[in-house]
Amino acid sequence: MPKENVIAIIDVGKTNKKLFLFDQHYQMLYEQSAQLVEAVDGEGDTCENLENLRTLVFNFLREVFLKKEFEIKAVNFSTYGASFVYIGAHGLPVAPLYNYLKPYPETLHQQFYQTYGGEEAVSLQTSSPVLGSLNSGLQLYRLKYEKPALFQQINYALHLPQ
C-alpha cells in the first residue's frame, strides 16, 4: 500500500501543543495533542519548559515516522507570541523561555522610553505599540539591565518557531 504524502504542522500554543498531518489537498488526516506542565523562571513566574517541549516535538515526529501509512514531505511550526529562545555559544538554550505575559518592570519601562524619545515617538518610529514584554526587543533590553551576566552569554535570540 503506497504511503500518503503529508505535511506535519506542529502548533505550540500556550496551553495545548498539537501535531496535525495534512495531505496535498489540505485535508487533515491526523491530529494529536498534549499539554505540558509549566516551569518557573528565576523570579517565580511561569514559563514554558523548553526541554519538555523539545522532547514532545521529537516524540510527535517519531510517532509519525513509525506509521506506515504516512510519508512526511514537510514540517512547519506555528507558535504563540513574542517568545525568545536565548542560545549560547554552544548552540544550547542559556535561559528559560520567559513568558511574554510576564509583567514588565516600570523602572525599565520609564528608562527605555525616556532614553529613546518617549512612548509615542518610539511607537511611531518602530510601528511597535507599548506592550511591555510582548515587545521582543524590550525582553532583550530587560535582560541587558536586569541580568547582564546572562545577557553576555546570549549569542542568538530566536523566536520560538525558529
- Per-residue burial over 53-71, b if 16 or more Cβ lie within 10 Å, else e, is beebbeebeeebeeeeebe
**Whether residue 115 sits in one domain with residue 74:** no
Residue 121 confidence (pLDDT) above 80: yes
In percent, the amount of the chain with pLDDT more than 90 equals 85
Q: Are residues 7 and 76 in the same domain?
A: yes
Instruction: Determine which of 4-8, 78-82, 152-156 has the lowest per-residue pLDDT on average.
Output: 78-82
User: What pLDDT is attached to residue 160?
Assistant: 86
The pLDDT value given to residue 109: 97
- State the helix-helix crossing angle for 106-115 and 136-146, rounded to 10 degrees: 110
Cα separation, 37 vs 102, whole angstroms: 17
Q: Is 75 helix (H, G, I), strand (E, B) or coil?
A: strand
> For the chain, how many structural domains are there in total?
2
Query: From CA 49, how far away is CA 148, in angstroms rounded?
Result: 22
Domain boundary among 46, 80, 114: 80
User: Is 81 a residue whose pLDDT tops 90?
Assistant: no
7/71 same-domain check: yes
User: 75 with 100, same domain?
Assistant: no
Mean pLDDT of 89-107: 94
Give yes or no: residues 43 and 92 share one domain.
no
Of 55, 80, 105, which closes a domain? 80
> Would you place residue 2 in the very low, low, confident or very high pLDDT band (cuts 50, 70, 90)?
confident
Is residue 161 scored above 90 in pLDDT? no
The pTM for the full model equals: 0.84
Residue 91's CB is within 10 A of a number of other CB atoms, namely 8
Q: What is the pLDDT of residues 133-147, one digit of tens each?
A: 999 899 999 999 999
Alpha helices by DSSP H, listed for the chain, are: 50-66, 106-115, 119-126, 136-146, 148-153
Q: List, for residues 17-42, the tens digit of each pLDDT value.
A: 999 999 999 999 999 999 999 999 98
C-alpha dist (Å) from residue 82 to 3, 43, 106: 37, 19, 19
User: What pLDDT is attached to residue 18?
Assistant: 97
Question: Which of 54, 80, 106 marks a domain boundary?
Answer: 80
Distances (CA, A) of 138 to 6, 104, 151: 38, 9, 13
pLDDT at 82: 82
132 phi-psi bin (left φ>0, alpha ψ -120 to 50, beta other): left
Residues 92 and 42 in one domain: no
The DSSP output letter for 32 is E
Residues 48-59: pLDDT tens digits?
999 999 999 999
The confidence score (pLDDT) of residue 4 equals: 94
